[in-house]
Chain A
């Protein structure tokens, strides 16, 4: 390996972050409710989702995130992407982030064309750059003929394909991919996997959440294993998978 790899700069630095969700049983969402219930505060439950974690993600690395349902993977992703604020510690993000699970940030009131321009722009592209990749996005999503229809009239598969296509073709500096291989029919999934096998993933910072061990094994050079909101292991992918499999039994 070249020496430059050693000096790779940090894309995300998270230090001592934690997140606790407050869940009230009866939400006092109006002024009236709050006034009438001053002496009867709602019962609140505290759910610690992330407990004091530190993590550094280098630029250009693909890191896997493993853990059972409810282990805090999605919360961690949202904290690292800057969507949720942390309760303690800090997250330093260098560049634009994009969080992708079944849908990405698209408005159902807008047409496919408008959504492509808005998303592309939010991801940091200039209008000219979006013009250049516009047809690529449409072709990849197989949405010819629906360019100027509002996506609220699309099937859920069409919306998901559009989201995936925007993510693949526009892409932020740092991508968070949350179980994205569940998108579309078999044919589209094959296409999606092909993208990953091509050079797309190289040079990008990717945080990959998946329950498919093959996917993690194939693309990630490091992996994180999480349990009950704690980071149990960071490092070798094989070892993380082993720990995750043990946890499942």
Chain B
């Protein structure tokens, strides 16, 4: 009965179709507009990895095993978060045409934009898995623990959605949130164990693995994808806590401030 009801709901309702349509168009706009096209989406993380590899492995001699993969997985999670937050600060402004003339739910605009980032993230994750399992000499191979990447990713998705909602609603009243967020983004990058050895990170910045949600998520992503162990559940609980709190604050702001976006922006 319940199943039948939900099937008819899906048939009648076009919400999912609409989200997918908007996500596809957003993805196309981002990558097909420039000459390198989708190729750029694949090239960017590789170039980033080369630069950081040069700095941290060759110059600073950190000696982390499988460092290229170590960087790779850290960067694709961090980049997803930054693209979904920095990239959406002026969302209510750039996507005004969607809600200015109808009573469309604004949350759909956020979700579809993040979904287009999920497409990019999926490409990168597949590349990582190919790299780690076929090229990386110190690879441990595939394992069933790899499936834990799904809840870890859902975690960063909720976190990004929450932060994106908060930032873009503040943007209505304070346009320079863009610059402020850039500084915070850099802070998050360097207070996450993306480039450093986990042990030296924990030694130098104790509690930061729990304080910085990005750090926790990256640590867990590496555990399940590279070390073949289950995620650190206390970290995961913390990070889901952060993600859900930000999402709730974001939704409240969207209700209070975002509803006035059509007249303020």
Contacts and interface: CB of A to CB of B under 8 A. Distances in A.
Contact of B263 (A32, A81, A82, A84): A84
Contact size class for A? 35 or more
Interface stretch (A38-46, A95-103, A226-234, A241-249): A95-103
B21 interface: yes
Contact of B175 (A29, A93, A126, A172): A29
B184 to A, nearest CB: 13
Interface SS of chain A = loop
Contacts, number: 78
A93 B21 contact: no
Interface of A: 21, 29-32, 34, 78, 81-85, 93, 96-100, 104-107, 109-110, 114, 117-118, 121-127, 172
A96 B17 CA distance: 16
B22 A83 contact: no
Interface of B: 14, 17-18, 21-22, 25, 29, 97-104, 173-177, 180, 259-260, 262-263
User: DSSP class of B's interface residues: helix, strand, loop or mixed?
Assistant: helix
B100 A105 contact: yes
Contact of B103 (A34, A81, A107): A81
B22 A82 contact: no
B102 A78 contact: no
B16 to A, nearest CB: 10
18 contacts: A29-B175, A31-B174, A31-B176, A78-B262, A82-B102, A82-B103, A83-B99, A83-B101, A84-B260, A85-B259, A97-B102, A98-B101, A105-B100, A109-B29, A118-B21, A118-B22, A118-B98, A122-B18
Contacts of B25: 110, 114, 118
